[in-house]
């Protein structure tokens, strides 16, 4: 997987995360670096599902997602990639950035977001599933990758952990 046409950011981060022992940001090592291999013209849809509950940690997560989104979109033109961002807080999930390949739209949409409240993880995962289903209907060749950023504590609604597990299983069933 190290031959190709540039850095494959997600496979590199995934390799680092698999090796990681403790929670926190993956710190890629030289052995984690993966190169992109171009086969055909299919694009990817990267859906960031971001826990916006709390305030300080949520702002840090959103800052990281904003930077990653804009970076991906700068590199996405040739590959026809799209990026979407869903936030979840309080009782709901919000599609903050519908699937787009526009840096202009992304930077405008990601400039404002609300934080605080409980953590309705299930709603965030179900919102991601809805985006995956809609995009599959539009373009069967587009691959979906869902990246969830949360502290992992589902606290919104009745039986939040059980509902989050069911939502995750539904998302996986869609092939994301």
Instruction: Count CA atoms within 13 Å of residue 146 on its CB side.
Output: 26
Per-residue model confidence (pLDDT) at position 38: 60
Which segment of 17-31, 91-105, 161-175 scores lowest on mean pLDDT?
A: 17-31
Specify the pairing of strand 143-149 against strand 92-100.
unpaired
- The residue-averaged pLDDT of 118-138 equals 90
Extents of the domains making up the chain: 1-37, 40-173
Q: Is 140 exposed, middle or buried (0-12, 13-18, 19+ CB in 10 A)?
A: exposed
Look at residue 4 and tell me whether its pLDDT is greater than 60.
no
Tokens of 166: 């069911």
User: pTM here?
Assistant: 0.70
pLDDT digits (tens, 9 = 90+) for 80-123: 789 999 998 888 899 999 999 888 888 889 888 888 888 888 89
What CATH number should be reported for the domain whose range is 40-173?
Answer: 3.40.50.410
Give the max Cα distance, the chain: 48
């Amino acid at each position: 997987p190290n031959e190709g046409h540039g850095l494959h950011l997600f496979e590199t981060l995934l390799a680092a995360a698999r090796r990681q022992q403790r929670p926190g940001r993956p710190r890629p090592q030289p052995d984690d670096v993966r190169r992109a291999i171009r086969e055909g013209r299919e694009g990817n849809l990267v859906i960031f599902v971001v826990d916006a509950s709390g305030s300080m940690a949520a702002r840090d997560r959103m800052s990281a997602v904003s930077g990653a989104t804009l970076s991906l979109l700068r590199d996405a033109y040739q590959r026809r990639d799209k990026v979407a961002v869903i936030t979840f807080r309080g009782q709901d999930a919000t599609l903050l950035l519908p699937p787009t390949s526009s840096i202009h739209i992304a930077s405008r949409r990601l400039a404002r977001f609300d934080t605080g409240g409980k953590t309705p993880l299930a709603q965030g995962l179900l919102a991601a599933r809805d985006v995956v289903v809609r995009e599959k209907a539009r373009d069967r060749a587009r691959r979906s990758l869902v990246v969830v950023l949360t502290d992992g504590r589902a606290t919104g609604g009745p039986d939040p952990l059980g509902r989050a597990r069911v939502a995750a299983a539904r998302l996986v069933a869609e092939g994301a």
